[in-house]
């Protein structure tokens, strides 16, 4: 016959473990965080030049492998300025070891109207690309 104290203790322990798995965590922005950067995506794959950091922010980054095996990305970019903003971006495709794949493509020129949000789409030129870096910079003079 099972010991009722051990059975009760085991049931209580299992109940506590089950309840611990149900707790939720809510993240709120730190008070010191600037309003201009609140809501911006923090992603190590995105590099925004210092001269653009107060004018452009990346809201979301999505990457999926298509049915054909090629990596496809979507980056949502917002102009924070009260005037149109033009910039260039360049995507550096990386292999499974995070090493750059030697593919030369020129930077892409992009413009956003004041406060506009736009999505940038790209597909890797080779199925060897497993990740990427995207670099945003001001237009060259």
Segment 53-100, tens digit of pLDDT: 899 999 999 999 988 999 999 999 999 999 999 999 999 999 999 999
Question: Which structure tokens are listed for 131?
Answer: 């990740």
pLDDT for position 21? 44
pLDDT for position 104? 72
Domain with 80 in it: 31-137
Domain assignment present for 111: yes
Segment 4-42, tens digit of pLDDT: 555 554 455 444 444 444 443 434 334 333 434 445 557
pLDDT for position 2? 59
pLDDT for position 3? 59
Q: What is the CATH number of the domain that holds 37?
A: 2.60.40.3230
Total structural domains in the chain? 1
The number of CA neighbours under 13 Å toward the Cβ of 140 is 4
Model confidence at 134, pLDDT cuts 50, 70, 90, reads: very high
Domain assignment present for 2: no
What CA–CA distance (Å, rounded) separates 42 from 54?
Answer: 15
Domain assignment present for 93: yes
């Amino acid at each position: 016959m099972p010991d009722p104290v051990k059975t009760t203790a085991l049931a209580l322990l299992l109940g506590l473990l089950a309840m611990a798995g149900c707790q939720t965590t809510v993240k709120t922005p730190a008070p010191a965080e600037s309003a201009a950067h609140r809501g911006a995506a923090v992603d190590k794959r995105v590099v925004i030049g210092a001269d653009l950091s107060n004018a452009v922010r990346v809201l979301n980054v999505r990457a999926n492998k298509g049915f054909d095996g090629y990596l496809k990305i979507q980056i949502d970019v917002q102009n924070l300025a009260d005037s149109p903003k033009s910039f260039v971006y360049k995507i550096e495709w990386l292999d499974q070891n995070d090493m750059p794949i030697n593919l030369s493509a020129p930077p892409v020129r992009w413009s956003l109207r004041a406060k506009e949000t736009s999505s940038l789409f790209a597909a890797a030129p080779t199925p060897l690309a497993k990740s990427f870096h995207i670099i945003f910079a001001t237009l060259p003079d």
